[in-house]
């Protein structure tokens, strides 16, 4: 039976995403100057105020207030009328040293036996319905907001946009679980004040339809078949959206975990990613299970795969690995047998995940908006400056868990 499925995304200027980006900027700066840093930091943003809290074990000292301001400026909160502005907002730091009771469960005499930084279960998911092996509704939701942010920064075709925005896409699937068309698109974007509200609403809707959507189609022609004249658009459905960002709604690190992952497809263990160094398996094992799922689907093991791994705090070896192929497997093995082979191919002890995916590098700021999964792996050069003026320039690989570097190993193991 045909069905509908919906996913949402939020922009880099959404309050929760501001918090995520500040937390991950702190992670990157700590790792840049001390790769062994242990960090768990949370950020709260509200009207004119940023609060940083959490635990750190590191050899380096950072100007955390300046790092937070730099992130806010980069996002685009640079005007006093936003009631949250990079240079004038207050920044309070309540970061303190990490508990030795937690650290003793992670550090070991040999790095190979490094224990998991917490208990819990993590999930990775992949589907072949898009080129990057991500769910289509989420993929489209992200692209809408990334393009809207590009229009805001260009400040040419649309000149009234402010940083806060949300999107939502509802797809119709056929009886074979294939997406056939877009049913509904919802976009809510913060904007400058207009003298006339009815004119404002009409202008915003027309610009979304005449400027944003054509740019999406131009850059993503593979999705043209999904668009039609029957799509129901809800553009700023509540009306005026001038008050936004942290002034409109407080933001916290880790509140957009479904936006960060698979848009409601697959499953989620409940642990957020941003603000956590890779010894925290909430983050590193979620990346590792995505890496597994993507390589399995790309190798042809199944059309759709969910991978679960679970840990006990302080214990290196996972409690278990679970695989669900949703009845789409292409190999003559049960899902449990596939899981056994996965254990043989991928070492899921925390240290080996960190090494395999190069996670002790400052690679996290780029993950903190528009999803941690389905992104393009690339090598970039990044420069960091410490409070005493020391500069560190590093070449790092971003989104290593998106690489298809295990496809041949998987094919060999499964006889494909």
Active site residue 227: no
Active site residue 166: yes
Residue 69 is labelled as binding a ligand: no
Residue 42 is labelled as binding a ligand: yes
Active site residue 282: yes
Structural element, H or E, at residue 19:
helix 15-33
List the catalytic residue out of 143, 152, 265, 276. 276
List the catalytic residue out of 12, 20, 207, 282. 282
Residue 280 is labelled as binding a ligand: yes
List the catalytic residue out of 8, 42, 85, 304. 42
List the catalytic residue out of 16, 20, 85, 354. 16
Active site residue 155: no
Q: Which of 384, 401, 411, 402 is nearest to 25 (CA)?
A: 384
211 burial (CB, 10 Å; 0-12 / 13-18 / 19+) is: middle
**What is the end-to-end Cα distance of the chain in Å, rounded?**
32
Residue 354 to residue 284: CA distance in whole angstroms: 7
**CB-based contact 79:152 (threshold 8 Å):** no
List the catalytic residue out of 69, 255, 329, 356. 255
List the catalytic residue out of 36, 70, 113, 249. 249
DSSP 329: B
223 burial (CB, 10 Å; 0-12 / 13-18 / 19+) is: middle
List the catalytic residue out of 17, 143, 152, 372. 17
Residue 74 is labelled as binding a ligand: no
CA pseudo-torsion sign 85, 87, 89, 93: positive
Active site residue 17: yes
Active site residue 14: yes
List the catalytic residue out of 35, 36, 53, 55. 55
List the catalytic residue out of 30, 33, 123, 241. 241
Active site residue 250: yes
List the catalytic residue out of 35, 53, 250, 413. 250
Q: Which of 261, 4, 310 is nearest to 142 (CA)?
A: 261
List the catalytic residue out of 280, 349, 356, 372. 280
How is the beta sheet containing 179-191 ordered, strand by strand?
3-10, 161-173, 179-191, 232-235
Residue 7 to residue 184: CA distance in whole angstroms: 11
415 conformational bin, left if phi > 0, alpha if psi -120 to 50, beta if neither: left
Residue 165 is labelled as binding a ligand: yes
Question: Taking each helix axis from N to C terminus, what angle separates 281-299 and 407-414, rounded to the nearest 10 degrees?
Answer: 60
List the catalytic residue out of 5, 14, 247, 290. 14
Active site residue 276: yes
Residue 67 to residue 50: CA distance in whole angstroms: 12
Residue 272 is labelled as binding a ligand: yes
Active site residue 196: no
Active site residue 256: yes
Residue 241 is labelled as binding a ligand: yes
**CB-based contact 45:30 (threshold 8 Å):** no
| Cα angle value 87/395/111 (rounded, 5°) | 105
List the catalytic residue out of 166, 283, 291, 349. 166
Residue 164 is labelled as binding a ligand: yes
Residue 408 is labelled as binding a ligand: no
Residue 62 to residue 33: CA distance in whole angstroms: 9
List the catalytic residue out of 256, 265, 268, 349. 256
Residue 79 is labelled as binding a ligand: no
Q: Binding site: which residues?
A: 14, 16, 42, 55, 98, 164-166, 240-241, 249, 255-256, 272, 276, 280
Bind-site residues for K(+): 42
Residues within the annotated binding site for L-methionine? 55, 98, 249, 280
Annotated binding site for Mg(2+): 16
Catalytic positions are 14, 16-17, 42, 55, 166, 241, 249-250, 255-256, 276, 280, 282
Residue numbers belonging to the annotated binding site for ATP: 14, 164-166, 240-241, 249, 255-256, 272, 276
């Amino acid at each position: 039976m045909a069905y509908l499925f919906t996913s949402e995304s939020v922009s880099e200027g959404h309050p929760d995403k501001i918090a995520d980006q500040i937390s991950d900027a702190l992670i990157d700066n700590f790792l840049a100057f001390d790769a062994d840093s242990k960090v768990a930091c949370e950020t709260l943003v509200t009207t004119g105020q940023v609060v940083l809290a959490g635990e750190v074990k590191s050899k380096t000292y950072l100007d955390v207030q300046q790092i937070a301001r730099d992130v806010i400026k980069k996002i685009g909160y640079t005007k006093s009328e936003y009631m949250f502005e990079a240079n004038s907002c207050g920044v309070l730091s309540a970061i303190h040293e990490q508990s030795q009771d937690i650290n003793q469960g992670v550090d070991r005499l040999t790095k190979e036996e490094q224990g998991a930084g917490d208990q819990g279960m993590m999930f990775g998911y992949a589907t072949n319905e898009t080129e990057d092996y991500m769910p289509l509704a989420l993929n489209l939701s992200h692209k809408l907001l990334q393009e809207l942010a590009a229009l805001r920064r260009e400040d040419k075709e649309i000149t009234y946009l402010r940083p806060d925005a949300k999107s939502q896409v509802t797809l119709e699937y056929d009886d074979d679980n294939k997406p056939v068309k877009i049913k509904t698109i919802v976009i809510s974007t913060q904007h400058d004040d207009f003298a006339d509200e009815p004119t404002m609403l009409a202008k915003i809707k027309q610009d979304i339809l005449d400027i944003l959507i054509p740019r999406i189609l131009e850059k993503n022609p593979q999705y043209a078949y999904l668009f039609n004249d029957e799509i129901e658009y809800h553009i700023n459905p509540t009306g005026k959206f001038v008050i936004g960002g942290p002034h409109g709604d407080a933001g916290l690190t880790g509140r957009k975990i479904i936006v960060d992952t698979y848009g409601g497809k697959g499953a989620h263990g409940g642990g957020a990613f941003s603000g956590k160094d890779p010894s925290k398996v909430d983050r590193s094992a979620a990346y590792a299970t995505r890496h597994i799922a993507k390589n399995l689907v790309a190798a042809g093991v199944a059309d759709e795969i969910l991978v679960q791994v679970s840990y006990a705090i302080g214990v290196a070896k996972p409690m278990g690995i679970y695989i669900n192929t949703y009845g789409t497997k292409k190999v003559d093995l049960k899902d449990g047998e596939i899981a056994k082979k996965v254990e043989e191919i991928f070492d899921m002890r925390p240290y080996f995940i960190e090494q395999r995916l190069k996670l002790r590098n400052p690679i996290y700021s780029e993950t903190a908006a528009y999803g941690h999964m389905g992104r393009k792996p690339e090598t970039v050069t990044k420069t960091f400056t410490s409070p005493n003026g020391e500069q560190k320039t590093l070449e790092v690989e971003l989104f290593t868990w998106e690489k298809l570097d295990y496809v041949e190993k998987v094919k060999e193991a499964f006889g494909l």
